[in-house]
Amino acid sequence: MGHADIGSWVSGQWVMWRRKRSLFVWEEVFNELEATRGGVGQNLVGGSDGVDLVVRKMLRGSRLVLVLNIWFCFYMFNLVIWFS
């Protein structure tokens, strides 16, 4: 197994993990919306607690994905330099 094979395997695993992760985040957001859907109408008028919670969860998830993406790119860049 050469370096290119290892690299393609790692990137394939990473893509699969990211797909699962993004699906999980959106599923969580959807479940949260379903749970608060009964009160979403009143929340939009009175106080948007449920909607705020959902938006906060979405932002937290995307921030985590962004940090992981940056870390992963840095890590792969270092691996390429190290192996070359």
The tens digit of pLDDT for each residue in 27-57 reads 666 666 666 655 444 444 444 555 566 666 6
Write down the pTM of the prediction.
0.28
How many Å is the Cα radius of gyration of the chain? 19
Of the chain, the percentage scoring pLDDT greater than 70 comes to 32
**b/e sequence 4-41, b meaning 16+ C-beta within 10 Å:** eeeeeeeeeeeeeeeeeeeeebeeebeebeeebeeeee
Extract the tokens encoding 40. 């979403």
C-alpha to C-alpha distances, 58 to 18, 36, 64, 73, 82, nearest whole angstrom: 15, 15, 10, 23, 36
